[in-house]
Structure 1
Amino acid sequence: MSLSKNTSTMIHSLSRATSYLQSFCVRLDGAHLLRSHATGFFVRVKGAILLITNWHVVSGLNPVDPSKAINPSPHYLKVTLLSRTNSVSELSVPLYDADMKPRWYEHPDRHAVDIALIELPEALEEYFYFVDIHSVEDDAKIVEAVAKDVFILGYPFSKADLEAEFGAQSPYYLPVWKRGSIATEPAVPLHDRVVLIDSLSRAGMSGAPVLISEDHQMMRARNAQGNAFIEAVRRGDTSALEHYDHDNVEDARIKQFKLLGVYSGTIGSTKMGEIALGKCWTTRTLAQTVDQAIQGQMPAHAPEANEHYAAFLQRTRRGQLILHDAAGNETKRVQLIPG
């Protein structure tokens, strides 16, 4: 599936900062079993691109009680990306190394914070688009306050569900913007980490960015003269106001967005699900996780090593990108990291 250049440029920049994720288990008989789907988004740090999602997505465990497990834990993720040729592609990302040690990073308080980071090489940018969510936030000052509107940008439907309902060309790779509101005081986060969001959601929204939203009054250009006028005002040229012309410029209310945090649904509390409340891990907690990240750990139910996962690792080993065509045939092999 591919997008035309015009269609691609019309997609909201925040939608392009998210990714549809699928988690897979590699069974002892060699079958790759689709376990679930979820949401991720991207943040850039020096020397790498970070894929942000929930700890429970990569571990397959409930962070409130990891000892209980219903389904087998995943071995790897498929990350849906838009390639530089505007085609929709999937990047397979192993969750364990050859010694079955987790390859994700997490908060120093481990699964008490339901956030996981996966480091991707910057060299992948030659082939795929990675939009840092911070780079496409609006500059406007948006005050975090109870009852403010938010949007959760995630994937409540699986690719199969969406295609069954709307056809094979459905854009499963673009997020649903689920509206909600801030339900608890952001100035006093629960456990100093969580703000509750009033919104119904589904499991596939796990790992989604939560954007606080506010309408701002702005001037919008009608033509080139209007663009020049607005640029002069932004530069502080007050004399430009003498030449204000309504034919060139109009007043408009523009919706602007700022990252509020990372959504993790109602994991661990059926009562929160009953009253449609979801957890949003604050940006401060996300920043702590990025700055103080430690290698991930499986407290229970770690997936077992097997020859089929070892073979998968050999094909997707760190530092090497293997490209396939739509039929699954290898078309190119690129060494991203020397060695």
Structure 2
Amino acid sequence: MTEPTSIEFIPGHPLSYATTRIGIFCNDIEISRASGFTAKFGPDFYLVTNWHVASGRNPITNKLSSQLAAIPDKIKFHVTVITEERVDDDRKSTTLYFKPLEFDLYKNETPTWLEMISGDHRIDVALFPLNSAVEELQQGGTRLAFIEAGEVTLKRGLTLEDSSTPFPGEGVSYFYPQVGSEVFVLGYPKGIELAGIFPIWKRASIASEPQATITSGGYVYEDLLYIDALTKGGMSGSPVIAIAKEGELYVTDDGVAVSMVDGTAHLVGVYAGREGVTNEELEFSIGRVWKTATIGSIVMHKKHAVVL
């Protein structure tokens, strides 16, 4: 494994540090490239990407994606480790470096990622727990660059006083920008990366009502929304981010409006890329985004994948 790469300054947007180019390997041969990001849910960090990236299978048909029928056995990516130490009462010293990681995709024939099936379809999202894999996290004042995946608000009619459901339980909802809102897809089209590590920010817009169900390929989805985006291969697993304007209203699935603060970066969901979509969706450059709520559902269920 290569040594961590240090940098002496912190340019650009903080979310660029939370993304990673992913390499998928079979017998030490790279068979595909994709995108992913570090998400934080409660106290825990996770690498987030698509299920079809980790499994190498189409999430609808379950067929192997590789033309050579290669079954992935290893994933490689990086995280950004940030350590803060107080110099004096007024100053902090911040150290930041990129730490390469690699995980076996199976242990005793059991997948090492977390996933979930919802109703009659598979959620095309895979989570890899990071807390135990990054030893630096055991040190005080150390964290990973991350995108928050646990931003919620109380459901309609509930208050903090009368909600006895522990966070994040049945009493909370996720909220999303309204249709037509501008979003960005942060990923690595065709494996491109800036300065050897940073993602491309592809501009897109929300193309469906986030609160509406989507019918596609004979399935009805409550956990998907569409974006209008001309993306390329390699962007599967990218975070979809909205940068809020002052006073902009985001809305929950049950109709609760949340007023945003100017410049707030909000995770909309996980882009599903060009795999596992219908021909119609591909033809119209309509991209599937698995809502942020799917990350919370997988964390709470903590179900491991089953190879079918």
- Same fold per TM (> 0.5)? yes
Match of 2:267 in 1: 259
**How far apart in 1 are the matches of 2:304 and 2:135?**
24
Cα distance change, pair 119–271 in 1 and its aligned pair in 2 (3 A): same
| Percent identical | 31
The aligned residue for residue 118 of structure 1 is 128
Q: Point out 4+ residue stretches in structure 1 off by more than 6 angstroms.
A: none
Quick one: distance in 1 between partners of 2:76 and 2:133? Answer: 18
Correspondence list, 1:1-339, <5 A = 2-6=5-9, 8=10, 10-26=11-27, 32-45=28-41, 48-69=44-65, 70-71=67-68, 72-83=70-81, 86-97=96-107, 99-109=108-118, 112-122=122-132, 124=134, 126=136, 130-134=144-148, 144-158=177-191, 170-190=194-214, 191-216=221-246, 255-267=263-275, 268-299=277-308
Structure 1: distance between partners of 2:177 and 2:149: 19
Q: Which whole-Å deviations, capped at 9, do the CAs of 1:39-97 have from their partners, x for residues lacking one?
A: 11122346642111100010001101113543412101111233566454421111111
TM-score w.r.t. the length of structure 2 is 0.70
In the alignment, the residues of structure 2 paired with residue 287 and residue 100 of structure 1 have an alpha-carbon distance, to the nearest angstrom, of 25
Question: How far 1:111 sits from its partner (Å)?
Answer: 6.3
Are residues 136 and 50 of structure 1, via their aligned partners in 2, closer, same or farther at CA, if it must alter by over 3 Å? closer
Which is higher, the Rg of structure 1 or of structure 2? 1
Instruction: Say how many residue pairs are matched.
Output: 245
Q: CA deviation at 1:129?
A: 5.5
For the 8 Å contact 1:206–1:265, the answer to whether it is kept is yes
The Cα shift of 1:142 comes to 8.2
Residues 204 and 228, structure 2, Cα contact 8 Å, conserved in 1: yes
Aligned Cα root-mean-square deviation (Å): 2.9
Change (3 A) 1:254 1:44: closer
Distance 1:285 1:89, change over 3 A: closer
1:108 CA drift (Å)? 3.7
Aligned-partner residue type, residue 173 of structure 1: I
Please, what TM-score do these two structures have when normalized by structure 1? Answer: 0.64
* Structure number having the greater strand percentage: 2
- The separation in 2 between residues aligned to 1:185 and 1:45, in whole angstroms, is 25
Using the TM superposition, give the Cα deviation of residue 126 of structure 1 relative to its aligned residue in structure 2, in angstroms: 1.5
Partner of 1:165: none
Q: Which amino acid aligns with 2:232?
A: R
Structure with the larger helix share: 1
Q: 1:189 to 1:94 in 2, by over 3 A?
A: same
